[in-house]
């Protein structure tokens, strides 16, 4: 009787999930050992989220940073299944999809990422714009287009959160709206980019000041209305008129993950071993935003794209090792520095002994992200477009 190949089910097609699937497909499986790899995501596209900002300024096109899964996974042997996960039955090792098939698994990878918690402030769910997905970008783009075509002299934008997303959005939108834009960057702590390298913080402060972005530090959002935002500063609440509120604060683990009978921290993140296996369930691996993980040296691993990108290699290797009776590797996080865009043709980066800002940093950031795009084929298409597009634009002009 022929033994069925193992089925690996990967839930979530972000950095953690997609890169795990691709790496698994590249590992040296023997013909009789090669597993079936199934990637499940509710969207039909992968989103390279660090480059989302460039869609708002027209620097990049959707296909460059959000290629369809079917295109990326072509000839990889990975099967893509679009659907929303309704239940994860870890006792019977089955995944249930809304209006979709039931998927049994032998190995499970949890990479469902997180969601933006808009409901923590009254009016947030109704009136604030998150910035996490392609759908979020399109929705914000449509709102900006309507405002730009209106008779209004000024477009008043409030951005909640002065972390990387907030600062990058403020600079990109300021360059897009120019003199017509009025920007407030609202931060609950006493400084912007609190956890970032000092060089990046200083570069960002200069970029924001040059663009006239007003920064509200030690300020809490009390509520959001259809055309206003109420802010508390030193126990005093002021209500300010706005046209757009963009919410960039926080990441919350999805309800489907929080409902699992697995050990979790107070934020609902699943606790894993350094091998990225879930406690008491060696057949389940988890990575990315939904993981509470300490690496091989006992260091807390940050929940960011850089960590998920690295974790994917380890998860793929450890699944391969599990199925081929080899030793597993504990995850070792390597801090590679931080990069951020600060408007058109401007960026900053700090890490690995390098400090760079301005147009040169902008090019270095683009090249670094080009290298991290999911497949060589897509890298070549995008890289060629980046080389040719300026020439075409020049000829058209």
Is 263 in the same domain as 284? Answer: yes
pLDDT at 368 over 70: yes
**In the predicted model, is pLDDT for residue 77 greater than 60?**
yes
Q: Are residues 240 and 294 in the same domain?
A: no
220 and 270 fall within a common domain: no
- The answer to whether residues 295 and 224 belong to one domain is no
One domain, residues 137 and 237: yes
pLDDT for the residue 125: 95
pLDDT band at 250 (very low <50, low <70, confident <90, very high): confident
The last residue of one of the domains, among 215, 247, 279, is: 247
Mean pLDDT (the chain) is 93
The answer on pLDDT for 101 being more than 90 is no
Note whether 162 and 216 are same-domain residues.
Answer: yes
- 276 pLDDT higher than 80: yes
At residue 1, the pLDDT reads: 40
126 lies in the same domain as 241: yes
Statement: residue 2 has pLDDT above 80: no
CB-CB contact of 312 with 16 (8 Å): yes
Mean pLDDT confidence for 97-107: 92
- % of the chain surpassing 90 pLDDT: 84
User: Does residue 395 register a pLDDT over 80?
Assistant: no
Distance CA 228, CA 226 (A): 6
Do residues 307 and 349 share a domain? no
pLDDT score, position 139: 96
191-229 residue pLDDT tens: 999 989 999 999 999 999 999 999 999 999 999 999 999
Query: Domain check: are 149 and 226 in the same one?
Result: yes
Q: Is 65 inside a domain boundary? A: no
Q: Which pLDDT does position 394 carry in this prediction?
A: 67
Whole-angstrom CA distances from 47 to 52, 58, 124 are 8, 16, 24
- With beta carbons less than 8 A apart as the criterion, state whether 311 and 287 touch: yes
| Sign of the torsion angle spanned by Cα atoms 351, 352, 355, 359 | negative
Domain containing 259 equals 7-42+83-115+252-323
Question: Into how many domains does the chain fold?
Answer: 3
Domain stops at, among 185, 216, 247: 247
CATH number at residue 38: 3.50.50.60
Identify which of 47, 246, 55, 269 has the alpha carbon closest to the alpha carbon of residue 163. Answer: 246
- Contact of 232 with 220, CB cutoff 8 Å: yes
Q: Which of 323, 355, 384 is where one domain is finished? A: 323
Residues 275 and 289 in one domain: yes
Residue 20 reports pLDDT greater than 50: yes
Query: Which range, of 129-143, 162-176, 210-224, 377-391, averages the lowest pLDDT?
Result: 377-391
């Amino acid at each position: 009787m022929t033994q069925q190949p193992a089925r690996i089910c990967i839930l979530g097609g972000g950095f953690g999930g997609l890169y795990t699937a691709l790496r698994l497909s590249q590992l040296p499986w023997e013909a009789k050992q090669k597993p079936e790899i199934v990637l499940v995501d509710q969207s039909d596209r992968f989103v390279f989220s660090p480059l989302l900002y460039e869609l708002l300024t027209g620097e990049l096109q959707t296909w460059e940073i959000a290629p369809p899964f079917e295109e990326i996974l072509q000839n990889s042997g990975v099967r893509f299944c679009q659907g929303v996960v309704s239940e994860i039955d870890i006792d019977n090792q089955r995944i249930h999809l809304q209006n979709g098939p039931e998927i049994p698994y032998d190995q499970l990878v949890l990479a469902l990422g997180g969601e933006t918690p808009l409901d923590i402030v009254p009016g947030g769910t109704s009136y604030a714009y998150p910035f996490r997905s392609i759908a979020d970008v399109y929705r914000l783009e449509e709102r900006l287009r309507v405002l730009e075509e209106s008779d209004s002299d000024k477009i008043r934008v409030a951005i909640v959160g002065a972390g990387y997303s907030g600062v990058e959005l403020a600079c990109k939108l300021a360059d897009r709206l120019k003199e017509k834009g009025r920007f407030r960057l609202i931060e609950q702590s006493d400084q912007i980019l609190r956890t970032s390298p000092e060089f990046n913080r200083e570069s960002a402060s200069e970029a924001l000041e040059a663009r006239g972005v007003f920064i509200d530090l030690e300020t809490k959002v009390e509520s959001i209305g259809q055309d206003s935002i109420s802010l508390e500063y030193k126990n005093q609440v002021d209500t300010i008129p706005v046209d757009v509120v963009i919410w960039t604060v926080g990441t919350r683990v999805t309800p489907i993950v929080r409902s699992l009978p697995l050990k979790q921290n107070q934020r609902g993140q699943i606790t894993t071993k350094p091998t990225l296996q879930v406690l008491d369930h060696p057949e389940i691996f988890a990575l990315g935003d939904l993981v509470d993980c300490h690496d091989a040296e006992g260091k807390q691993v940050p929940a960011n794209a850089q960590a998920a990108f690295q974790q994917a290699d380890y998860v793929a290797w450890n699944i391969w090792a599990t199925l081929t009776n080899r030793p597993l590797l504990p995850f070792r996080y390597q801090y590679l520095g931080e990069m951020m865009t600060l408007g058109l043709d401007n960026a900053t980066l700090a890490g690995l002994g390098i400090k760079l800002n301005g147009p040169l940093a902008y090019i270095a950031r683009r090249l670094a992200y080009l290298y991290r795009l999911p497949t060589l084929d897509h890298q070549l298409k995008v890289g060629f477009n980046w080389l040719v597009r300026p020439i075409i634009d020049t000829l058209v002009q």
